[in-house]
Structure 1
Amino acid sequence: MTATITQPVLEVSGIRKSFFGVEVLKGIDFDVRPGEVHGLVGENGAGKSTLMKIIAGVQPADEGAVHYRGDEVRYAHPRQAMDDGIVTVFQEFTLLPERTVAQNVYLGREPRRGGFVDQKAMIRRTSELLTDLGVSFIDPQSRVGSLTVAEQQIVEIVKALSFDAQVISMDEPTAALSDREVELLYAIIRRLTSRGVAVIYVSHRLKEIFDLCDRITILKDGALVSTDETGALTTDELVRRMVGRSIQSYYPDAVEGTVVGEPRLELDGCGNAFVDGVSLTLRAGEIVGIAGLQGSGRTELVEGIFGIDPFVRGELRVDGAPIRISSARSAVAAGLALVSEDRKAQGLALGQSVLDNTLLVIRSVFSMRTAPARREVPGVLSSLEVSSRGLDQEVRFLSGGNQQKVVLAKWLLTQPQIVLFDEPTRGIDVGAKYAVYQLMRDLAAQGKAVLMVSSELPEVIGMSDRILVMHDGELVAELPAGAAEHEILGAATGATIEGGAR
């Protein structure tokens, strides 16, 4: 953390904004200083995105003022803010995948020579910006669609720097990054702040907020709760201010009366092209967590169980009976559900309504049950506390947390006995996370078996009755509930591989 006490480079005061008569920002005061990382946190619906859009010139404020480098500014278009040095890197990238890195960085602002685009100058300038960030592994002439998510994130940052950005806002920048890629982003942010660039950092990952930020501003229901130096806050106090609940109750205990019963799912030496020799038992009434580093085979394991990449070796049993799951359809028919890692690409039809998304699996696999299931939809959505304007609202307009709840509703309607969760709380706020955790506990209390993959170790430790650890495509350790992070990491990195999983 490199910031020192100095005058703000950007300051908003008394910002108010309403939509359809509902006030979503209620007199917000906020500022960011040169060389500072300022965390902006709050549940979905707290007003973070609206505030960022006002700063970026995407939307005008109804009341209040924005001051930049001492002068009041009123941007009618995001390009005006960008040209002035205020750039936002949104969670949904704005890159064109079929164009090169250099073409994306200077899109619409290509350097010209003699009336033609100066390709050499564009490539040279992009290379200089990449070098300035300490990034040597991205070729300015590479097609953006061939890059990893982390590399595309860097291209977005380079694009921001090409505007000589003095303020960069980042919205959930690590939502789809591995741990190693997160460390790379950390290094880039620190390099930016060392040069005096101010960073507004929005994230639901509290560890990142405490790792990176000099100050933290908390919003709740459109109102400013507090702005404090990071050192003055604890994680418990931050959560309490955000959601009104102590972190001690963040991971709910098992529901009273929950009983661990007979095996629901058994794998015996199962393998495919991605995992090998996996043996495990998942019992009714328990939540088993799967930990491991990116690329360890966690997602590939649940996709093998669910028939997306079927196992070609070993035996899989459901409720004691051997079964061949060769497709997702056969998995659903066998009583399995998979809450996938990427809800937007794999779990939802974004352009369809809440109702149509909730009925997606029922219509596909159990068409005869569509009519009675449709009658159950309002009750299921209500039990999950889905916030929407109605069943006909398109899910793309819902918050990340509410989108995830629609995915859960879709699967609950199938009445599964085995529920596989892959990164169930990625990109959703603290309050929505708690709702997902409580649902998992409720499913276990009903005698369902729950298998959860997560890259967040506190989540694995807080929710698991047992913890399985993967390394290099194999299940290498089984640890009890409450195992320490260093034990899990030791097995995940291959440093302490011993024994096996059962």
Structure 2
Amino acid sequence: MSTPLVEARGVAKRYGPTVALQDGRLTVLPGESHALVGRNGAGKSTLVTILTGLQAPDEGEVRFDGEPAPALTDRDAWRRKVACVYQKPTVVPELTVAENLFINRQPVGRGGFISWRRLRAEAAQVLDTWDVHVDPQARTADLKVEDRQMVEIARALSFGARFIVLDEPTAQLDNREIERLFTRMRALQESGVTFLFISHHLQEVYEVCQTVTVLRDARWITTAPVAELPRTALVEAMAGESIAERTVTHQPVAADAPVLLDARGLTSDAYEDIDLTVRHGEVVGLAGSSGSGKIELAESFAGLHTPTGGTARLDGERLSFGDVQAALRAGVACVPRDRHEQGLVSGMTIGDNTTMSVLNRLGRYGFISAARKRGFAAELIERLDIHTEGPEQPVSDLSGGNAQKVVMARALASDPRLLVLINPTAGVDVKSKESLLSRMDSASEDGTAVLVVSDELDDLRRCDRVLVLFHGRVVAEHPAGWHDHELIASIEGVDHG
């Protein structure tokens, strides 16, 4: 067997108490396309940052061609080994293709000035070498997504790198563009280029890759030839359960419960033609990969985005978009995706954070009763079982689980008609997770309509039904009692037909 082009052994990475990667392993042979798959949070991104020299592992080692990886500070050595083409382009849009190819290393002529003639000639040579049909003098912003990606690949190859990481390269491409990308990948492989291919669309793995490595729960699970791993086995490896395992009993919402949220034809840059209803007391889940549009859709109901088309009604009244205050007045409450950036005001107390959305209830004519505010906050603290010294404690002192409970407490404080939860249990301990999900259950039992977006299957297991979005469209609906492998197959775009 030939020496691996890239090898990672026993790689571990921690951020404080969070284990981002515990047993990362990868062996990529020269000239292959090797898929790296796993659900969100499995450790893929952490492994990529280590493989590309953006951070060092706490444990384990990375080797290229049998030699230890370069020192983290030797950026030129890393560029000669590996490059990553991300879903979002890293080219400078206002520069030409030639300028992007040689940014920070432009050929210099007499007098120390940039030789633009040499720059264009060398750029044309690089593009020709790797069969990239793009005008070197074209403004990069004017290129199609697939051509921008090829420019980034050509730039990496011009440094000498022969190992290219493609991170969700098809997320913004249509079917024809995807097929063209795969054709170019195969041609580059024949020229000696090796790819690490990361995609949430498992069908693409079978189309373009020879080997697949699965990560789950921050650990290596398996590496196998794609041709020898049936799709059901791949999904099982990602899910961590066999197809026969695990069903959840669930009491569905009454079929005649009135519709509270009714959205028709919602369209934006992130999603397209979405019809969605949520009944009184119903919990509806939104699932999908990171580029599916699920978060943007949920945030639209909370007033954070304005769709370009479509309408939504809440309890029969038209819902205003793009206005958080209007959404709050209409009866929408939200637990946002990032509690630190969007959910908490870190310089304020727990009491301030839990009551900021209901200050109009705690006084008159703009004057707030400190006693009523303290009492209201104390009730919320008890209701959510927030472990704290009291309402006056700074919210910045709290653990992740208790901080998330404060965000949930504020959302529930207004007795919302629609509760939008986005990754409500991300980064919290098991006990806090169960407490937060119990509050979701209680809200629905009280008649609140709940829309929950999550990458955690345990969050979605409590739903009456789960809608799966793929590239901005609803592609599947799963009633309560689904198996993990069924939902993951829909999320990953696997066609069982």
**Fold in common (TM above 0.5):** yes
Are 2:23 and 1:31 aligned? no
Q: Note the 1:330-341 alignment, pairs <5 A.
A: 330-336=326-332
Aligned partners of 1:465 and 1:480 also within 8 Å: yes
Residues 100/219 of structure 1: CA separation in 2 closer, same or farther (3 Å cut): same
Partner of 2:418: 418
* Kept in 2: contact 1:254–1:445 (CA 8 A): no
SS at 2:105 equivalent: coil
Deviation of residue 160 (structure 1)? 1.6
Going from structure 1 to structure 2, the CA distance change for 1:331 and 1:351 (only over 3 Å counts) comes to closer
Q: Where does residue 226 of structure 1 map in the other structure?
A: 222
Q: Relative to structure 1, is the Cα distance of residues 304 and 352 closer, same or farther in structure 2, using a 3 angstrom cutoff?
A: closer
Q: Is structure 2 residue 69 aligned with structure 1 residue 80?
A: no
| Match of residue 250 from structure 2 | 255
Q: Secondary structure at the match of 1:40?
A: strand
1:15 is displaced (CA, Å) by: 4.6
Alpha-carbon offset, residue 166 of structure 1:
0.8
Conserved 8 A contact 1:304-1:310? no
Q: Distance in 1 between matches of 2:20 and 2:267?
A: 50
Contact 2:304 2:324 in 1 (8 A): yes
TM-score with structure 1 setting the length: 0.61
1 CA distance for matches of 2:70 and 2:324?
52
Change (3 A) 1:191 1:302: farther
How far the C-alpha of 1:322 sits from its partner, in A, is: 5.9
Of the structure 1 ranges 212-221 and 268-277, higher mean CA displacement relative to structure 2 is found in: 268-277
Secondary structure of 1:245's partner? coil
Matched, 1:119 2:104: no
1:10 CA displacement = 2.2
Q: 1:103: how far off?
A: 2.8
Q: Amino acid of the residue matched to residue 336 of structure 1? A: V
Question: In 2 relative to 1, CA 299–50 (structure 1 residues): closer, same or farther, beyond 3 Å?
Answer: closer
Change in CA separation of 1:219 and 1:273 when aligned onto 2, cut-off 3 Å: closer
**Matched-pair contact (CA < 8 Å) for 1:300–1:309:** no
Match of 1:167 among 163, 170, 179: 163
AA partner of residue 116 (structure 1): F
Helix, strand or coil for the counterpart of 1:112? coil
CA distance, structure 2, for counterparts of residue 440 and residue 192 of structure 1: 53
Deviation at 1:334, TM superposition (A): 0.9
Partner of 1:142: 139
Q: Quote the residue 2:55 is aligned against.
A: 59
Structure 2 vs 1, CA of residues 177 and 446 (structure 1 numbering), >3 Å: closer, same or farther? farther
Gaps of 5+ in 1: 383-389, 455-459, 489-502
**Superposition map of 1:323-472 within 5 A:** 327-336=323-332, 349=341, 366-367=358-359, 392=396, 416-418=416-418, 442=441, 447-449=447-449
C-alpha separation in 2, matches of 1:272 and 1:12 = 41
Aligned equivalent of 2:368: none
Choose the corresponding residue for 2:198, options 178, 202, 217.
202
2:36 and 2:215 in contact (8 A); partners too: yes
Q: What is the one-letter code of the residue matched to 2:85?
A: V
Q: CA deviation at 1:32?
A: 0.7
Residues 1:276 and 1:257: Cα distance change in structure 2 (over 3 Å): closer
> Is the radius of gyration larger for structure 1 or structure 2?
2
What percentage of residue pairs aligned between the two structures are identical? 28
Could you say which residue in structure 2 is the equivalent of 1:68? 64
Between the aligned partners of 1:410 and 1:96, the Cα distance in structure 2 is 41
Question: How much does 1:228 deviate?
Answer: 1.3
What CA distance in whole angstroms lies between the structure 2 residues aligned with 1:9 and 1:134? 23
Change (3 A) 1:410 1:305: closer
Give the count of matched residue pairs. Answer: 447
How far apart are the structure 2 equivalents of 1:272 and 1:22?
Answer: 35
RMSD of equivalent CA atoms: 6.3
Distance 2:192 2:235 in 1: 30
Cα-to-partner distance string for 1:403-424 (whole Å, 9 max, x where unaligned): 9999989866665433578xx7
Residue 94 of structure 1 deviates from its aligned partner by 4.3
Secondary structure of the corresponding residue to residue 161 of structure 2: coil
Deviation at 1:16, TM superposition (A): 5.6
Contact (CA 8 Å) 2:284, 2:464: kept in 1 or not?
A: yes
1:51 shift after superposition: 3.5
User: In structure 2, how many angstroms separate the alpha carbons of the residues matched to 1:322 and 1:35?
Assistant: 56
Question: 1:11: Cα distance to partner?
Answer: 2.6
- Please give the alpha-carbon distance, in whole angstroms, between the structure 2 residues aligned to 1:113 and 1:271: 52
How do 1:99-110 residues align onto structure 2 when only pairs under 5 Å count? 99-110=95-106
Contact 1:339 1:407 in 2 (8 A): yes
Amino acid at match of 2:250: V
